[in-house]
Amino acid sequence: MTRFRTTLALLVAATLSATSLALAQAKQPADLIVTGGPIYTVDVTRPIAGAFAIRGGRFVFVGTARDAMMFKGPSTRVLDLRGAAAYPGFIDAHAHLLGLGLALQSVDLTGVPTYEEIVSRVAARAKTTPAGQWITGNGWDQNRWPVKEFPTHEALDRAVPNNPVILDRVDGHAVLANAEAMRKAGITSKTADPTGGRIVRDAQGNPTGVFVDNAMSLVYRAEPKLTPAQLTAALHAAAVESNRWGLTEVQDMGEDRETILAFEALARDGKLPLRTYEMVTDDSASLAFFYARGPRKAQYNGRVWVRGIKLYADGALGSRGAALLAPYSDDSANTGLLVSTPEHLKARAIEAFRHGFQVSTHAIGDRGNRNALDAYEAALDAVHSVDARPRIEHAQIISPEDIPRFAKLGVIPSMQSSHQTSDMPWAERRLGPERIRGAYAWRTLLNTGVVIPNGTDFPVERVNPIITFHSAVTRQDAENSPPGGWYPDQRMTREEALRSMTLWPAFAAFQENELGSITAGKYADFTVLDRDIMKIAPEKILSAQVVATYVGGTPVYQATNTAATTAADGSGEVNDASSEAAPVASGAHALPIERENEWTRGLVARDPKVFDRLLAPGFVYTEDSGVMTRDDVIASATGDDTTTWAGNEDMKVHDFGDTQLVTGVLHVKGKNKSGPFDRRYAFTDTWQNRGGTWQLIGAQDYVIPK
């Protein structure tokens, strides 16, 4: 509805920009100025910049190198990129930090081509491990072996008889245990399969050592608990490892109370070099604790967010645990596993929305995805939580009729492009030629108007976000195979791929006003690569290396052979203020607009030009692509057939310098299935001057009862 009042606010903005210009001349010096290479901002108001300036951990200016030097004071450091390229800090929208921390301490079995080699790696670790102590490993994948079948435990027992061993499958949905681990866990042929899980058995009914989905906990629970010191060390190691690969934030899927509190303790002590967006795991005790505490945003200088929960609809495709609507094409008796019942998903979603928490649900199979969509639809109707931004994690195989439901319900498909390149050798065998069309279907989903936050699911896949980018734009593996890409019509453009690693994850975590682009006012998170991945040949993308990673304007990782260097005496002369874009005079902060409860679902439709600047189209906005017009969007979101503007009333502008609130009443008329309507909405729009451009950064609307 904002389009109806844009003109007025822009007029107000125009009169104020003169003031901003004057303020610019009285600016304070920056802490750091970055220049000397291409800067991809992921901000449509200025997609490529020559420089940016940082003060107090936030970007204060983005623009030309000449103008940036206006922010240079006696103690301002200047980082000369020397041709390296800067991007907004990379965000992994779906990963497991504790899993990574533990994986760093366990035997790495990723990519190992035979079971014999797996056994010999574990045996090598056993030589330096005291008898009785647990050995963990992760990353095995029988699909890489000559015989593509689950292993059995005997070879492992012969090589490692005296240590309990548990080895996670690459997807985290199956585990292989040796006899000693099964003995400690009390597992025998009499142990029953738990709901949503499977103990793989031989012809005599004896466990073979492989435990799938919910059955994994039968073995895990025998493993001794981490001490608090071990937990903290694992989390810190995972954060440092993430920085090394250029990540400034990780959205951490499904951690328990202890782990999340350990992250908060690290952040409070100033020892967490990474932002984390924590999704609370589906256990009643952890949920009760965080619900009682309420949603927490940007704690400890924007390091830890806790305002979401993680549910599981089904298992994974590799272990045939993904729940399908029809049987597996290569296993006609099997339709996969439901890890949670549809009722459970719905009840949990309602509970979360009521507490102001976001919900993300793991769903891989088409039945898993349908259950999650159904649960969200019912929960949104029950709670009227409008800007809820529910997410489906993986959204890997979707029935054609469910694809438009994401945009319609405002459900965010959070996907991992490297899953596609890892799964492509065998996914079609599991699914057949028809269902494969709805699998890893990025383009089909993007065309409906959704955004796709991208991630790796590490330690399932490697941490490196360059692999994510490469898979997204090529749909090819590390050897650039197959030629032309696997179902290449589903590729992302490079601009989309970069957004999927920066601004789209920020949107998927309600952080788009705080991070995700190089924009004045946002946290100064950025990543420097030695190569320009937006321009180099596709087959060269994987050779790009991280030069430096900055979180809040501070380096958290620097490569030893870095081309880019900082110097307190960096060159660059002070210039006049005659540029067309006036720099922001002071570190502008987004107002903490709490939108969750008051938005009405229909009021996400905005003016396309404003929407472009908002950068975060969570809902359908596709006038250009011809999918829907804005009026269609309003009509479909509100359930109205037509909506017509009938005027604004009581418009007021509240001026706070670089931030303005515009309040008033919006009057609309139209028609819906219950007949003609005539409604008034009270609205509050927040405008902010960012780098000389006024942007709409927040909007609240609610219907005034008659």
CB of 428 to Zn ion, least distance (A): 23
CB of 217 to Zn ion, least distance (A): 16
Measured from the CB atom, the residue of 136 and 416 that comes closer to Zn ion is 416
User: Which range of residues in 22-30, 417-425, 427-435, 455-463 is near Zn ion by CB under 5 A?
Assistant: 455-463
CB of 253 to Zn ion, least distance (A): 5
Tell me how many residues contact Zn ion (CB under 5 A): 2
Instruction: Kindly state whether residue 457 participates in binding Zn ion, applying the rule CB under 5 A.
Output: yes
Measured from the CB atom, the residue of 467 and 544 that comes closer to Zn ion is 467
Q: C-alpha angle 395/396/399, rounded to 5°?
A: 85
CB of 620 to Zn ion, least distance (A): 27
Measured from the CB atom, the residue of 395 and 590 that comes closer to Zn ion is 395
Measured from the CB atom, the residue of 13 and 253 that comes closer to Zn ion is 253
* C-alpha to C-alpha distance for 354 and 356, rounded to whole angstroms: 5
191-196: long-range contacts (C-beta < 8 A, 24 or more apart)?
A: 191/218, 194/218, 196/315, 196/337, 196/338, 196/339, 196/340
Instruction: Kindly state whether residue 264 participates in binding Zn ion, applying the rule CB under 5 A.
Output: no
Give the tokens for residue 616: 């975060």
Write the DSSP symbol of residue 44. Answer: T
CB of 669 to Zn ion, least distance (A): 47
Write the DSSP symbol of residue 697. Answer: E
Measured from the CB atom, the residue of 43 and 457 that comes closer to Zn ion is 457
Measured from the CB atom, the residue of 457 and 685 that comes closer to Zn ion is 457
Measured from the CB atom, the residue of 287 and 311 that comes closer to Zn ion is 311
Let me know: does 644 contact 677? Beta carbons within 8 Å.
no
Give the other-Cβ count within 10 Å of 287's Cβ: 20
* Window 144-173: residues binding Zn ion (CB under 5 A): none
User: Which range of residues in 193-201, 258-266, 457-465, 617-625 is near Zn ion by CB under 5 A?
Assistant: 457-465
Give the tokens for residue 681: 């909405």
- Phi then psi for residue 564, to 5 deg, are -85, 135
CB of 252 to Zn ion, least distance (A): 10
User: Which range of residues in 141-149, 237-245, 410-418, 452-460 is near Zn ion by CB under 5 A?
Assistant: 452-460
CB of 360 to Zn ion, least distance (A): 10
Which amino acid, 348?
A: R
Measured from the CB atom, the residue of 180 and 213 that comes closer to Zn ion is 213
Measured from the CB atom, the residue of 213 and 457 that comes closer to Zn ion is 457
- Phi then psi for residue 614, to 5 deg, are -65, -30
Let me know: does 602 contact 633? Beta carbons within 8 Å.
no
Measured from the CB atom, the residue of 170 and 253 that comes closer to Zn ion is 253
Pairing verdict, β 304-312 and 358-363: parallel
Give the tokens for residue 153: 């435990």
CB of 699 to Zn ion, least distance (A): 33
CB of 607 to Zn ion, least distance (A): 37
CB of 424 to Zn ion, least distance (A): 19
Torsion region of 271: left, alpha or beta (phi above 0 gives left; psi -120 to 50 gives alpha): alpha
Give the tokens for residue 258: 């202890």
CB of 94 to Zn ion, least distance (A): 6
* C-alpha to C-alpha distance for 6 and 608, rounded to whole angstroms: 11
Instruction: Name the residue number minimizing CB distance to Zn ion.
Output: 457
* Window 333-372: residues binding Zn ion (CB under 5 A): none
* Window 564-593: residues binding Zn ion (CB under 5 A): none
Let me know: does 388 contact 600? Beta carbons within 8 Å.
no
**Of 291, 301, 198, 247, which Cα lies nearest the Cα of 88?**
247
Pairing verdict, β 412-414 and 391-394: parallel
Measured from the CB atom, the residue of 50 and 459 that comes closer to Zn ion is 459
* C-alpha to C-alpha distance for 258 and 264, rounded to whole angstroms: 10
Measured from the CB atom, the residue of 278 and 596 that comes closer to Zn ion is 278
Residues in the chain, overall count: 706
CB of 556 to Zn ion, least distance (A): 24
C-alpha distances (whole Å) from 7 to each of 101, 203, 659 are 51, 74, 17
**Of 617, 638, 622, which Cα lies nearest the Cα of 681?**
638
CB of 456 to Zn ion, least distance (A): 9
Q: Is residue 95 within a helix (H) or strand (E), and if so which, with residue range?
A: strand 90-95
Measured from the CB atom, the residue of 461 and 701 that comes closer to Zn ion is 461
User: Which range of residues in 56-64, 143-151, 449-457, 533-541 is near Zn ion by CB under 5 A?
Assistant: 449-457
Strands of 640-656's sheet, edge to edge?
640-656, 659-672, 675-690, 693-703
* Window 221-260: residues binding Zn ion (CB under 5 A): 253
413: helix, coil or strand? Answer: strand
CB of 280 to Zn ion, least distance (A): 14
CB of 89 to Zn ion, least distance (A): 21
Instruction: Kindly state whether residue 658 participates in binding Zn ion, applying the rule CB under 5 A.
Output: no
Measured from the CB atom, the residue of 253 and 409 that comes closer to Zn ion is 253
User: Which range of residues in 9-17, 76-84, 456-464, 644-652 is near Zn ion by CB under 5 A?
Assistant: 456-464
* C-alpha R_g of the chain: 26
Distance of alpha carbon 441 from its chain centroid, rounded? Answer: 17
Measured from the CB atom, the residue of 37 and 459 that comes closer to Zn ion is 459
* C-alpha to C-alpha distance for 509 and 459, rounded to whole angstroms: 21
Let me know: does 438 contact 427? Beta carbons within 8 Å.
no
Torsion angle, CA of 488/494/496/499, rounded to 10 degrees?
Answer: 140
Let me know: does 534 contact 499? Beta carbons within 8 Å.
no
**Of 313, 318, 341, 315, which Cα lies nearest the Cα of 431?**
318
Q: What is the pattern of x (binds Zn ion, CB under 5 A) and - over residues 593-632?
A: ----------------------------------------
**Of 278, 189, 269, 233, which Cα lies nearest the Cα of 101?**
233
CB of 239 to Zn ion, least distance (A): 18
Measured from the CB atom, the residue of 278 and 457 that comes closer to Zn ion is 457
Q: Which residues bind Zn ion (CB under 5 A)?
A: 253, 457
